[in-house]
Every structure is written in C-alpha cells, then in structure tokens.
Amino acid sequence: MPEEKKSLLYKFKPIIDRWPAISKPEGHVAFKTKLMWTGLILILYYMLANVMLYGVSSQQLDMFAGFRAIMAGESGSIMHLGIGPIVTGSIIMQLFVGAKIINLDLKNKDDKAIYQGFQKILVLAMIIIEAVPQVYGYLRPDTAFVGMVGDGWAKFIIIAQLFAGAYLVFMMDEVVSKWGIGSGISLFIAAGVAQAIFTGTFNWLPTNADAVLSASNPPAGCLIKTGYLLIAQPVSTLVRGGGFETLFIGSGNSLISLLGTIGIFFLVVFVEASRIELPLAHTTVRGARGRYPIKLIYASNIPVILMSTLLANINMFAILFWSNPVMRKIPLIGGKWWIGNFGPLDNLSQNPIAGGAWYVSRLNGIQEWLLAPLFPDKYGAYLTAHAPWQMAIHIVVYLGLMIFGSILFALFWIETTNMAPKDVAQQIQDSGMQIPGFRRDPRIIEKILERYIPAVTVIGAVFVGGLAAFADMIGTVGNTSGTGVLLTVGIIIQMYELIAREQAMEMHPMLRQFFGVE
C-alpha cells in the first residue's frame, strides 16, 4: 500500500504496538482450558457486580436504568458502566469505517490490525467520556466522603473506580475471546439477564422492601406473587376487585410478562434453527461431503446490542442537556424540552417524560401503549400527559429505529468480521471444499453466496430488531427488556453450539482447519 494512501490511524501504530493486551495462545487451547477460563471470568463478573462504589451517595440517578440488561452492569457497583464503553467504541469505529471517514480496508491484514488496535484506545477514551458525566451528574459523592477528602478528590476517586471497573470488563472480554468460549460481552449480558429473570420469577421479598408483606404489597417474583395472592385474597376480590387483572396485566412482574418471556424463548429457538444449507464436497477426498449453514439470524444478535447501546447513550446525553448546569447553557439544545424532558430539576425522572428522547425510549409493557389509550381513567398515568396519537408516533418511531438500526449495524458487522460473501468464499476455498457442479474458484463461490448472505442478513436483522421492540411492548419478567431476553436466548444457543463445535474439534483435529482455528 502506498504511504500516502494509508489511514491517519497508522500514526498511532507505535502506541498500538506497545499497548498492553491479553496475549493470544500460540497453539491450540484445549477444550477443558477454555471452559475453565470462561467459568472463572463468569464468577469474577458476578463478584465485581456486587462490589459497590465507595463514597457514592444513596440518592443517585441511574442514566442507564432502562438499558441495564444490555449494559451488563449493576447500578451503583464498580461495574456501573458495564460493556457500554466497549460497544460504543465499536459503534463509532464501524460507522466511521463504513462511511469511509476512516480509510481502512478491513480485508487487509495490516489495516485490520490498526482498526482493532485503535478501537482499544477508543474504548479507554469512551470510559472517561461516560464516567465523568455520571459523577458530575448523578453519581454524586456522599457528604461524609466529601468532608473527608474534599469535593474534587471525592469525584476523582469515584471516576477512578468506574474506570477500573470498565477496564476490567474490557480485559475480561479479551480473556474470554482469546482463551475462552465465545465472547465476553455476550457472556456478561446473558449472566445479568439470567439473574434478573430468575429473581423476577422467584423473588419472595415484598415489592416494597420497607413495608410489611401483604395483599397490597405482595412478593416481587411473578410466580411467588401469583401463589400468594391466590391464597391471601378471597374469590370475590380476585373476580370483581381486580385481583386477576393485577395478576395478569398489572405493572411489574405480571403473568403476561412471564408468558411473553417464555414465548420469546421458544420463538428465538425456532428461528435460530432456521437456516439455508449449501452443499459442499471435498476436492481431493472422494465421498467427503458437508454443508455450509447460513443461519437466518446471520449477523447474530450483535446489531441489537449496538442499537440498544446507541439509544442508551442518546438517553444519557439527553438527560445531561436537560439537567446538567453546564450543558443546559449550550445554545439551541441545552435545557430544551424537545431534546428530552426529564421532569423538575429537583426531582428528575430516570426516563424521559417528553421530547425527542421520549419518542426513542423503549416501550414498557402493554399498560403504556395499549391499556392507557383504551382505558385512560384507569391507566392514563402511563401516557405521561401525552395524547393517544403521540403514543402511536412513539410506537412507529421506536419500531422503525430498532429495525432500521439493526439492518445498518448487521451489514456493517458482516463486513468487519469476515462474514461477507468474499470472506466466506475464501474460507471454503482454503478448507479444500467446493460447491458440487461449479468450478473451484472463490469468485464463483462468492457470486453464489451473494445470492443468499446479504438478503438473509437483512431479513435476520429485521426479525431481531422487530422482535426486541415487540417484546418491550409486551413486557418481560425482571424488567430485563425485550432486547435483553432476545439476546440471552440467542447467546445461550450460540454458547451451546460453540461448546459442541469445540468438542468436535477436540475429537477430530482436522476440523480445526475448516473453522480457521489453526
């Protein structure tokens, strides 16, 4: 490549070459070793999620409250930022490379190394960018802590804790990617959502922890609450007093949320099994045949993760423009209701109640978009002073963003992860396989794959984006969001397939060449 055509990011090459990173294994890593590292990282994740930030006031506002399942972090803990900086850095790099603002050819080995190396630097920058607004906005230091070290040092120490936690997440993701099974990001998302679903289903503690357990303050878990209310309330109350209505469509962990979660599980399992299979034959071993599967969800669930993280960042900056003393002074956008209204400054809401941020915020159950317009006397509060036609626009905007955004990120993702037709054709060629009836030429294989991969990528992205938004509209157990449930089911299935593949390669080492492991 001529020197003048190289990207400006090559100026960072000396830093990238010396940047601390998890070393790649030199040879094949045994399946038991991969399983051990994956298990250890998962245990470490749960431990860190229970390490709370030191010196933070109990009166705090979580700007990522509606996206906790996707952020894979625990509010107020050292894992407060979760995977947010990693995914945001990935979004920025994909958009800049896809729009040709950054001149990198990801099919070129050197350019790809620069891309991956600079992305690590960008992640660290995003940790600072996301941590500072949190502390100077809503993770305020406790007054006693400020009295000990002063306001400036108190904020610095909290930022340092957030930085350490987010950087640990980044390093743990690298350990899983290089030494474990699958992706660390996916593992953390599945772990957080699984925990939320379990507690949302079986939590026996009362909904209001400060009050006594009663029919008006039942257990928080869906199944436990159902059993308790069926026993504690008389039949007349259940039938005519709204008892059954509370059980099935009430706010919180209702039965419809549990049924919606189960329905998503089975639907995703079915779709994950749907695929197009191209026949393959070995060029030198007669009779050796196989199939190359092109799954309906070809780009996996990554597009939904990227889109949801983008919306989480929009929500974060919207609340800063509305309430931060410095950012409220920015002309045209600071303190403007049409950017996002989060209520009175002395009693901010974690979710937008009006403005653009409200239209792109996720829908929270049927009470908000269905029951409120139909029964305004009983459920009108969920409309937050909006007219039914505004709620209709909200539904269209949110569905459109999730679907269109998922398509865009899916197309970027397959281009940057060696899943495009040209990359797959070369993999098939290098493995010694060919499509029966066609000449053994990667260009011919590429043309055949171009008939399927782009179309399947778009269809899969429409499905995952639409299903995630629809699941939010139905509601999910544990308030994990439809995206969180969708991702978790897909991640568990992929983890199962990866474990099966690792076991197969352990028993048949020749398969490693086809999968590109060695």
Tens-digit pLDDT string for the chain (518 aa): 444 467 788 888 888 888 778 888 877 788 889 999 999 999 999 999 999 999 988 777 777 777 777 788 888 899 999 988 988 888 788 778 876 778 887 777 888 888 888 888 899 999 999 888 888 767 888 888 999 999 889 999 999 999 999 999 999 999 998 899 888 888 998 998 888 899 999 999 998 888 888 888 889 999 999 999 889 888 888 877 777 888 888 777 889 889 988 988 888 888 888 888 888 887 666 666 778 888 888 888 888 888 888 888 888 889 889 988 888 989 889 999 999 999 888 888 888 999 999 999 988 888 888 888 888 888 888 888 889 999 999 999 999 999 999 999 899 888 877 788 888 888 888 877 778 877 778 888 889 889 899 999 999 999 999 988 988 888 888 888 878 888 888 888 888 888 887 777 776 665 555 555 55
Q: What's the CA gap between 415 and 491, in Å, rounded?
A: 21
Looking at the domain assignment, is residue 76 inside a domain?
Answer: yes
Task: Give the pair of three-digit tokens for residue 448.
Answer: 């055949």
Looking at the domain assignment, is residue 223 inside a domain?
Answer: no
Boundary (domain end) residue, out of 148, 180, 212: 180
Looking at the domain assignment, is residue 335 inside a domain?
Answer: yes
Q: What's the CA gap between 249 and 366, in Å, rounded?
A: 8
Q: What's the CA gap between 251 and 273, in Å, rounded?
A: 34
**Are 442 and 295 part of one and the same domain?**
yes
What whole-number percentage of the chain has pLDDT above 90? 25
Looking at the domain assignment, is residue 80 inside a domain?
Answer: yes
C-beta of residue 40 within 8 angstroms of C-beta of residue 275: no
Q: What DSSP line would sit under 101-162, residue for residue?
A: SS---TTSHHHHHHHHHHHHHHHHHHHHHHHHHHHHHTSPBPHHHHHHH-HHHHHHHHHHHH
Task: Give the pair of three-digit tokens for residue 56.
Answer: 């933070």
3-state secondary structure of 274: coil
Which residue type is seen at 73? G
Q: What's the CA gap between 150 and 158, in Å, rounded?
A: 12
3-state secondary structure of 420: coil
Which residue type is seen at 5? K
Q: What is the pLDDT of residue 1?
A: 42
| Bridge partners, residue 275, by sequence | 295
**Are 295 and 426 part of one and the same domain?**
yes
Task: Give the pair of three-digit tokens for residue 396.
Answer: 């269209």
Q: What is the pLDDT of residue 38?
A: 93
Q: What's the CA gap between 358 and 493, in Å, rounded?
A: 33
Q: What DSSP line would sit under 287-319, residue for residue?
A: T-EEEEEEESSTTTTHHHHHHHHHHHHHHHHHH
For strand 289-295 and strand 275-282, is the pairing parallel, antiparallel, or unpaired? antiparallel
Beta-carbon-side half-sphere exposure of residue 490 (alpha carbons within 13 Å)? 29
**Are 283 and 423 part of one and the same domain?**
yes
Distance from first CA to last CA of the chain, Å, rounded?
A: 27
Q: What is the pLDDT of residue 202?
A: 94
C-beta of residue 22 within 8 angstroms of C-beta of residue 179: yes
Q: How far is CA 174 from the centre of its chain?
A: 17
Q: What's the CA gap between 424 and 451, in Å, rounded?
A: 13
**Are 290 and 423 part of one and the same domain?**
yes
In this structure, what DSSP letter does residue 277 have? E
C-beta of residue 414 within 8 angstroms of C-beta of residue 457: yes
Boundary (domain end) residue, out of 180, 206, 233: 180
Q: What DSSP line would sit under 349-405, residue for residue?
A: -SS--BSHHHHHSPP-SHIIIIIHHH-HHHHGGGGTT--HHHHHHHHHHHHHHHHHH
**Are 291 and 173 part of one and the same domain?**
no
Q: Which domain holds residue 315?
A: 276-493
**Are 296 and 434 part of one and the same domain?**
yes
Question: Domain tally for the chain?
Answer: 2
Looking at the domain assignment, is residue 226 inside a domain?
Answer: no
User: 212: exposed, middle or buried (C-beta count within 10 Å: 0-12, 13-18, 19+)?
Assistant: exposed
3-state secondary structure of 32: helix
Which residues fall within 8 angstroms of residue 377, CB to CB, at 6 or more apart? none
3-state secondary structure of 278: strand
Task: Give the pair of three-digit tokens for residue 20.
Answer: 């601390």
CA-based nearest residue to 61, from 129, 136, 114, 149: 136
| Bridge partners, residue 1, by sequence | none
Helices (H) and strands (E) in the chain, counts: 23, 3
**Are 289 and 399 part of one and the same domain?**
yes
Which residue type is seen at 98? G
**C-alpha angle 101-166-59 in degrees, rounded to nearest 5:** 115
Q: What are phi and psi of 277, to 5 degrees?
A: -115, 120
**Are 349 and 488 part of one and the same domain?**
yes
Task: Give tens-digit pLDDT for 148-198.
Answer: 999 889 999 999 999 999 999 999 999 998 899 888 888 998 998 888 899
Which residue type is seen at 56? V
Task: Give the pair of three-digit tokens for residue 207.
Answer: 């909904």
Looking at the domain assignment, is residue 423 inside a domain?
Answer: yes
Beta-carbon-side half-sphere exposure of residue 299 (alpha carbons within 13 Å)? 32
What whole-number percentage of the chain has pLDDT above 70? 95
**Are 151 and 280 part of one and the same domain?**
no
Looking at the domain assignment, is residue 203 inside a domain?
Answer: no
Q: What's the CA gap between 297 and 421, in Å, rounded?
A: 15
Task: Give the pair of three-digit tokens for residue 141.
Answer: 């230091």
Q: What's the CA gap between 448 and 348, in Å, rounded?
A: 55
Looking at the domain assignment, is residue 126 inside a domain?
Answer: yes
Q: In this structure, what CATH number is given to the domain that contains residue 362?
A: 1.10.3370.10
In this structure, what DSSP letter does residue 67 have? G
Boundary (domain end) residue, out of 180, 206, 221: 180
**Are 175 and 314 part of one and the same domain?**
no
Which residue type is seen at 37? W
Q: What's the CA gap between 287 and 281, in Å, rounded?
A: 8
